[in-house]
């Protein structure tokens, strides 16, 4: 969805992986990851952020304790082998 003509989009953060912009008029955060743009209100963005941080913390703890499992990388179109 395109921003309204009256939207004053502000860039909040950027990295090689994603960018986050915000429209104070609409109260919407836009999270761009590659060609995908996700729109969030503040409460939803906070929940997504908390969930991602919790997942990363869990992986870090597992890695530090030596229990981390390697997650195989699969390219699109690769078949899963059981």
How many Cβ atoms sit within 10 Å of the Cβ of residue 45? 18
The separation between the first and the last C-alpha atoms of the chain, rounded to the nearest angstrom, is: 40
Comparing 46 with 74, the larger pLDDT belongs to 46
pLDDT given for residue 80 in this prediction: 55
Q: Are 67 and 58 in contact (CB under 8 A)?
A: no
Distance of CA 8 to the CA centre of its chain: 22
**Residue pLDDT, tens place only, 33-71:** 999 999 999 999 999 999 999 998 888 888 777 766 665
Nearest CA to 19 among 27, 5, 9, 8?
9
pTM for the predicted model, two decimal places: 0.69
Nearest CA to 19 among 35, 43, 42, 3?
35
Q: Are 39 and 30 in contact (CB under 8 A)?
A: yes
């Amino acid at each position: 969805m395109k921003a309204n003509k009256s939207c004053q989009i502000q860039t909040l953060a950027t990295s090689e992986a994603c960018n986050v912009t915000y429209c104070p008029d609409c109260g919407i955060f836009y999270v761009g990851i590659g060609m995908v743009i996700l729109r969030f209100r503040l409460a939803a963005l906070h929940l997504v952020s908390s969930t991602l941080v919790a997942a990363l913390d869990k992986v870090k703890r597992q890695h530090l304790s030596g229990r981390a499992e390697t997650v195989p990388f699969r390219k699109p179109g690769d078949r899963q082998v059981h």
